[in-house]
Amino acid sequence: MPSPYRALFAAPGSRAFTAAGLIGRMPLSMTGVGVVTMVSQLTGRYGLAGALTATVALSAAVAGPQVSRLVDQYGQRRVLRPAALFTLVAASGLLLAAHHGWPDWVLFVCSACVGCTPSAGAMTRARWAALYRGTPRLHTAYSFESVVDEVCFVLGPIISIGLSTAWFPEAGLLLAAAFLAVGVFWLTAQRATEPAPHPRERHGGGRSALRSPGLRVLVLAFAATGAIFGAVDVVTVAFADEQGHKGAASVVLALYAAGSCVAGIVFGLMRFTGAAERRWLLGVCGMAVSMIPLLLVGNLPFLAVALFVAGLSIAPTMITTMSLIEEHVPRAHLTEGMTWVSTGLAVGIALGSSVSGWVIDAVGAEAGYGVPVVSGAVAVAVGFLGYRRLRRPAAQRGGTHERHSERDDEHERRNVA
C-alpha cells in the first residue's frame, strides 16, 4: 500500500472500523442485484424485479437521511443497531415471500422496509472526518473509502449473482443480510472512534443539512447518476441472460467497479490546488460520456471493456463530492449530509432500475442501455445549472453554525480528557 494510505492507519482503531465498514456496506452492492436475480429466476418478470429494487431504493431515500440525522444527534450505537434489526426482519420477510410465491404486495411491503438499511459508508467516513478534519489526510481517507466502496461493488455482484445462480435464488440476498448484521454490530461495538453526537437543542433546533443550496445540487445530480448505476445493473443482468450467460453478469459488473477502484487509488495519491467544484463537474461529464459506447454493445467482452472504462470516472467524482459536502454542510450535520447524497443515488437507482426493467420487458436488453445515456445527460444538465451554487466563497462555507460546532466539539474533547 502506498505510504499516504499506510499513514492513515496510524490512528488507533482505524483498522477495526474500516474492516467493519467494509463488511457493513457489502449489502449496498448485493441487495439490488440480489433482488433482481432472485425475482427473475423465480418469476421470470424483470419488470417486477426492477420495481422491487426501485422500492428498496426509494425507501432508502426516505428513511436513510432520517436514520443518519438521528445518528448525528444520538450517536451511531444507539441508532444503528435498532435500524439494522428492523432491516433484518424485513429482509427475512422478503425472502420468505419470494420463496413461497406470496402476493406481489407482500414483496413490495417487505422491500420498502428493507430500505431502512443503515449507511455504513457514511458512518466510517464520519469517523475519518473526526480523526483528520482540516488535514491533507482527509482527502486520502475519502479516496480510500471510495476504493472500499468499489471493492464492495467488485465482490458484491460476483458473490450475490454467483450464489443465486449456482446455489439457490435467495442465497445472494440472504448473505447480504448476514453481512449487514455482522458489519453494523461490529462497527457500533467500537466506541473509541465513534464521533461525538450533536444533540438538536445545541445546534439550532431540527434544521436539516438539506438547507444548503450546494448540497441540494449534489443530491439532484447524484439522483441522475444513481439512475445510471441502477439501469446498468439491471440491463447488464438481462443482456447477459439474452446472451445465454447470465452468471457472467457478475464478472462484467465487477469490471465496472474495478475501473472505479483503480481510478480511486490513483486519485487518492494526487494533490489538487484548483476548485473542487470544477473537478466535480468534469467527473460528472466523464460519467455521462462514458455511457454512450454502451449503445453499441453486441457481445459480453465488448460490454466488459466499455464498462471498465466507464468506471474510471466514478471514484474521482465521488471523492470530490465528499470534499464538497465538507465545505457546504455544518459539522453537526455531516453524517446526514453524506447520507443525503446517498439518498440521491438511491432515488436514481430506483428510477433507473424501474425504467430499465420496463424497457427490457418491452423491447429487449440492448435497448435498455439508452436509460443510462439519458440519465447521464440529465446529470450534466443539473451540474451546469447548479454550478454557481457550488462556488460559494470559502468565508461563507460552514458559517456561524460551523464555528459553534467546532467550539462545542473542542469542549467535549477537553471534558473527555
Please report, for the domain that includes residue 86, its CATH number.
1.20.1250.20
H or E stretch at 204: none
Determine contact, residues 311/257, Cβ cutoff 8 Å: yes
What pLDDT is attached to residue 407? 40
- Encode pLDDT of 335-352 as tens digits: 777 778 877 776 787 678
Residue 203 within any structural domain of the chain: no
> Residue 73: which pLDDT band, with cuts at 50, 70 and 90?
confident
Q: Pick the residue with more confidence: 5 or 307?
A: 307
Question: From residue 130, how far is each of 288, 321, 334, 363 by CA, in Å?
Answer: 33, 18, 10, 50
pLDDT: which is higher, 97 or 54: 97
pLDDT for 412 equals 39
314 falls within a domain = yes
d(CA 153, CA 318): 14
pLDDT at 406 over 70: no
In a 13 Å sphere around the CA of 102, the CA atoms on its Cβ side amount to 13
CB atoms within 10 A of CB 186: 16
pLDDT value of residue 397 = 44
According to the model, what pLDDT value does residue 399 have?
39
What's the rounded Cα separation, in Å, for the pair 260 and 307? Answer: 10
CA distance linking residue 33 with residue 171, whole number of Å: 12
pLDDT for 398 beyond 60: no
Mean pLDDT of 366-373: 88
Between CA 333 and CA 268 the distance in angstroms is 25
Give per-residue pLDDT as tens, 104-143. Answer: 899 999 999 988 888 888 889 889 888 887 787 887 888 7
Q: d(Cα 22, Cα 45) in Å, to the nearest integer?
A: 32
d(CA 120, CA 415): 28
CA 3/CA 13 separation, integer angstroms: 18
CA-based nearest residue to 149, from 186, 124, 113 = 124
The arithmetic mean of pLDDT across residues 393-399, rounded, is 42
> What local confidence, expressed as pLDDT, does residue 49 receive?
84
| 25 falls within a domain | yes
In the chain, the amino acid numbered 242 is: E
Query: Which range, 32-41, 51-60, 282-291, 311-320, has the best average confidence (pLDDT)?
Result: 282-291
Domain annotation covers residue 129: yes
Structural domain includes residue 193: yes
Is 62 contained in some domain?
A: yes
Local structure of 191: helix, strand or coil: coil
Mean pLDDT of the chain: 81
For residue 110, the model assigns a pLDDT of: 93
- Asked if pLDDT for residue 417 goes beyond 50, the answer is no
pTM of the predicted model over 0.75: no
Give me the pLDDT at residue 334, please.
Answer: 72
pLDDT at 185 over 90: yes
Query: Which range, of 36-50, 302-316, 370-384, averages the lowest pLDDT?
Result: 36-50
**For residue 93, what are the CA distances in angstroms to 113, 122, 163, 174?**
10, 26, 20, 11
pLDDT tens digits along 42-56: 887 777 887 888 788
Is 266 a residue whose pLDDT tops 70? yes
| Residue 393, pLDDT above cutoff 80 | no
Higher pLDDT, 252 or 211: 252
Residue 154 confidence (pLDDT) = 66
Per the listing, cell 490512528 goes with: 11
pLDDT at 204 over 80: no
Contact indicator for 182, 80 with CB cutoff of 8 Å: no
For 207-254, list the strands marked E by DSSP. Answer: none
Summarize the confidence of residues 360-389 as an average pLDDT: 88
Say how many C-beta atoms besides its own lie within 10 A of residue 275's C-beta.
11
- Considering its fold, how many domains does the chain have in total? 1
105: in domain: yes
Question: What is the span of the domain harbouring residue 311?
Answer: 13-197+209-393
Question: What pLDDT is stored for residue 392 in this prediction?
Answer: 57
For residues 407-414, give the mean pLDDT.
Answer: 40
> What number is the average pLDDT over the span 266-273?
75
Residue 238 has pLDDT above 80, yes or no: yes
pLDDT score, position 2 = 54
Residue given cell 490513483 in the structure block: 266
pLDDT attached to residue 207? 65
Residue 119 lies in a domain: yes
Q: What is the pLDDT of residue 208?
A: 67
Give me 262's grid cell.
483503480
3-state SS class at 296: helix
Residue 178, pLDDT score: 94
Q: What percent of the chain has pLDDT over 90?
A: 21
Residue 124 contacts residue 151 (beta carbons within 8 Å): no
